[in-house]
Amino acid sequence: MAAEKYLMENYKRFLLNRTTVTPVIVEYIENCLTNEETANQSFHKIMIHNWQDSLPQVFDVISNHYGSSFIPVNCTSKGELTSFYTSSLKLVMNLIKFDFIFPYSRNMFNVDVLFNDKTASDFFRRVTTVEDIVSSVVCCRFTEKCVLDLSNFCEDSEFVDNKIFFYKLSLLSQFKILMLRMGRDTKKLILRNNNLSLAPADILNFFIKSDLTAIDLSYNNIPSLQGLHRVSSKIERLWIEGNPLCEELDPITYVKKIAIRFPRLTELDGVKINQHGINIPYFRNYQATPDKRTKVVVEHFIRNYFSNFDAKKGFKSIAPFYEEQATLTIATDFTDAQEKLLQHYGMFHRNLINPEHNNKIATISNYGLCNSRAHIFTVFSRWPETIHDLSTFTVDVMCHNTAVLMLTIDGIYKELVSPGHPTENIFQFRRTFLFNIHTENQISIYRIQHEMMNVRFATTEQIRNSFQTPIVNTNSLTPIDPTSEEKEALLKVFQHITQLKKTEAELRLTYNSWNIYNAMRDFSKEFSKNITKNNSIQVDRFLVEEEDFSDCSSLLDEID
């Protein structure tokens, strides 16, 4: 140890190149390599002559050529001399082996080494190593919620302050033990803002076996989804916006393209997507008040209103959306001939400027105005069955405060063939809703005070682009892709009613695709048989008080 230290002093600031290298120093370095503790403390200046390209480029070339990657410190590029420091003796050793030269784009470059030039405390003002600093930065970025936030990692202030040039994220793959540990625990990995030019397979490999379900790759330079396939099967939430692969794609193609690769994806760029991997575009199309509360209210309204509107039950279910004294007007540009075929609009529509109906203007005030909930109900109940294509909807929220919400929805709907409605027609509509908001006991109640509706025949272009995707009836009681909390809640209710054991209850719910009504129906059918005949549902499927359990099972043995 003492001898080594002596030698270390001896070789302090030793200029190492092709002419000065000796077998003694090679032997010394080889010795040091076996004793990393002391070796990592001293830094060697690597000097390259006439380098024209960028710094990251020279690091990539050197680490590839000499087969050892390193994290450079205190890099400078002055005139013809490019230099950096490293504590990697392996690199120095390989430089010696390869005669201090490396090729790059048809040129040979010479390297000089100023051996043992500085120590860790010269750079970091304390006894530490680059590796320790990197490890501590990574550990600091791991949160209690199992999120590993490596966003803008290379620019971390700790690196900048210590002049550590962490020139690319994949340098992290050297830190095998650290990354394996991170890989084991991380559930969400954030890699945003790292100037990545492809999905970093060498980093992601550490996360293959983990419970990683969310990954944020947004605001990088990634042109394709290649390299993500190894983790893709488990990913539920993905952020990928701000990458070249998103450009020149309309929202629907974008979602489809990505959803195909990620079978479990439920959220893309912070937007929830449904079972068919298609998001509902209205979510991202309104601007005026894009806060979370508005989103929740608007989404709820649209889902509930239009699924009830389209449901066969008629319009009873939409009546509660309206105030008692709500007003509704419907305007259309139908000609007289069209009107004859569309009798249900009949006398309930109006138009101030339709030239063919000029005579109506005089009495417009009384004409086609619905001014009560009952009246609105009458109008809509004359309509045939409809299907609204939510994927064509655009929504603008013009105003949302504590007293009023103003909402404009444009979209496409279809009237189905039914008795009295011989043809199927596709229309475009605009509906503007003005809601009154009452707050009672901190609960806000939204009711429609005014509605204006505008209906026109859809253009051929609109027809071509609508009803492309399966329409999900969101009104049915089957939860789409229920989360574990939703399942837990359903289970609890189902168990409470039926007193079944958890496994049995879960089995029955799963069988009925988590539709609690169907599960209840099946159960009650079988249960009534139980009373009349017995044993269609076995006794051991039911919940039993803990202390009675043994008795019960012995009882069952007897029965068997």
User: Which spans of this chain sit near another protein (rule: CB under 8 A)?
Assistant: 250-253, 281, 285-288, 327, 329, 331-333, 350-354, 361, 364-366, 369, 371, 391-392, 394, 396, 398-399, 403-404, 406, 408, 410, 428, 430, 432, 434, 436, 449-450, 452, 454, 456, 459, 461-462, 464-466, 468
CA neighbor of 519 nearest in space, from 471, 481, 543, 487? 487
Nearer Cβ to another protein, position 236 or 323?
323
Nearer Cβ to another protein, position 366 or 535?
366
Nearer Cβ to another protein, position 60 or 339?
339
Nearer Cβ to another protein, position 361 or 544?
361
Shortest CB 93 distance to another protein, Å? 60
Nearer Cβ to another protein, position 64 or 363?
363
Shortest CB 287 distance to another protein, Å? 4
Shortest CB 151 distance to another protein, Å? 29
Instruction: Note the maximum CA span of the chain.
Output: 112
Shortest CB 424 distance to another protein, Å? 19
Nearer Cβ to another protein, position 135 or 285?
285
Shortest CB 110 distance to another protein, Å? 58
Cα distance between residue 39 and residue 144, in whole Å: 35
Q: 3-state class of 129 per DSSP?
A: coil
Cα distance between residue 139 and residue 149, in whole Å: 10
Strands, E assignment, 275-424:
322-332, 349-350, 369-370, 386-400, 404-415
Nearer Cβ to another protein, position 174 or 354?
354
Shortest CB 300 distance to another protein, Å? 21
Cα distance between residue 448 and residue 328, in whole Å: 9
Nearer Cβ to another protein, position 128 or 436?
436
Nearer Cβ to another protein, position 23 or 355?
355
Nearer Cβ to another protein, position 110 or 462?
462
Q: Which H or E element spans position 509?
A: helix 502-511
Could you tell me which residues are beta bridge partners of residue 282?
Answer: none
Could you tell me which residues are beta bridge partners of residue 332?
Answer: 455
CA neighbor of 113 nearest in space, from 10, 11, 9, 30? 11
CA neighbor of 426 nearest in space, from 437, 413, 410? 413
Q: 3-state class of 220 per DSSP?
A: coil
Backbone angles phi, psi at 410, to 5 degrees: -110, 150
Tell me the two tokens of residue 83: 């230099």
Shortest CB 330 distance to another protein, Å? 8
Shortest CB 429 distance to another protein, Å? 9
Nearer Cβ to another protein, position 451 or 506?
451
CA neighbor of 182 nearest in space, from 151, 152, 205? 205
Shortest CB 88 distance to another protein, Å? 53
Nearer Cβ to another protein, position 385 or 396?
396
Shortest CB 258 distance to another protein, Å? 15
Cα distance between residue 533 and residue 518, in whole Å: 22
Shortest CB 481 distance to another protein, Å? 23
DSSP per residue, 221-266? ---SSTT-HHHHTT--EEE--SSGGGTT--HHHHHHHHHHH-TT--
C-beta of residue 200 within 8 angstroms of C-beta of residue 191: yes
Cα distance between residue 131 and residue 117, in whole Å: 19
Cα distance between residue 179 and residue 138, in whole Å: 9
- Long-range (24+ apart) CB contacts under 8 A made by 288-293 are 288/396, 288/397, 288/398, 288/399, 288/400, 289/397, 289/399, 289/400, 290/397, 291/400, 293/400
Shortest CB 402 distance to another protein, Å? 12
Q: Which H or E element spans position 113?
A: strand 107-119
Nearer Cβ to another protein, position 398 or 489?
398
Shortest CB 105 distance to another protein, Å? 46
Residue 227 CB-half CA count within 13 A = 13
Nearer Cβ to another protein, position 350 or 373?
350
How many residues are given for the chain?
560
Interhelix angle 23-34/2-10, nearest 10 degrees? 130
Cα distance between residue 369 and residue 223, in whole Å: 55
Shortest CB 344 distance to another protein, Å? 18
For the beta sheet containing 237-239, the strands, ordered from the edge strand earlier in sequence to the opposite edge, are 147-149, 188-190, 214-216, 237-239, 267-268, 271-272
